[in-house]
Amino acid sequence: MARAVVAATPRTGIKGAVAKIDLTLKVVTDATVGGGIKADPAIMIYQGVTLDFSVGGSVERKYTIDTHLKFDIKLKAASTDICNALPADLTDGDIGFSQWFTAILAEVDHAEAGEPLATVTNYSYDANFAVTAKQNSGGELGIVPIKITASQTYQRDDIQNIKVTIDTVPQRTAGGEGKDEREFQP
């Protein structure tokens, strides 16, 4: 974001604005443990009479954790040093905001000027993304004619939403009393 702020022209209205970040994280965890015993093949009791049985069960544990964070970022950046200080793995995990923000600011800068005069007053970006982790394991032990089974499953879903809202601020000429540079004036 610092790169976009440094490169922004007054028309974009972001210099001196505040980006309001609203981050929601929902973690849903589901763990199941189960097992069973089964006669396989059926036990022969008499000619034409067999005994077949099975017993099984499982326990499932499911829980959800919701986290909500709100914070503000002042869009005042003299340099982009903070962008260069981030580890590469953090900058590679972009959820599309940087590309969108850079592109939308470029579009605003290159929009046709003239009547009726337009002014961008707000930028808003809303993204949902999820990460799912799954694990399964199981086993089977057979001692004829009985088969014993055990299983375990685990799943975790991290569902995240981020909303970034930026209300633009007037960009006055040098004296502070002049025209608002956000207007698309010729």
Determine the Cα–Cα distance for residues 142 and 122; give it in Å rounded to an integer.
67
Q: How many CB atoms lie within 10 A of CB 171?
A: 22
Q: Is 175 a residue whose pLDDT tops 90?
A: no
| Confidence bin at 46 (pLDDT 50/70/90) | confident
Tokens linked to 106: 């470029």
Determine the Cα–Cα distance for residues 42 and 51; give it in Å rounded to an integer.
6
Residue 144 has a pLDDT of 79
- Cβ burial of 13 (10 Å; 0-12, 13-18, 19+) is buried
Q: Which residue has the higher pLDDT, 122 or 52?
A: 122
Residues 138 and 152 sit within 8 Å (Cβ to Cβ): yes
Q: Is 1 a residue whose pLDDT tops 80?
A: no
Q: Is 94 a residue whose pLDDT tops 90?
A: no
- Mean pLDDT of all residues in the chain? 85
Q: Write the CB contacts of 131 (distance below 8 Å, at least 6 apart in sequence).
A: 157, 158
| pTM of the shown model | 0.70
Phi, psi of 95 (to 5 degrees): -100, 15
pLDDT, tens only, 114-139? 787 788 899 999 999 899 999 999 99
Residue 27 has a pLDDT of 95
Determine the Cα–Cα distance for residues 80 and 155; give it in Å rounded to an integer.
40
> Burial code of 146-158, b = ≥16 C-beta within 10 A, e = fewer?
ebebebebeeeee
**Above pLDDT 90, what percent of the chain?**
41
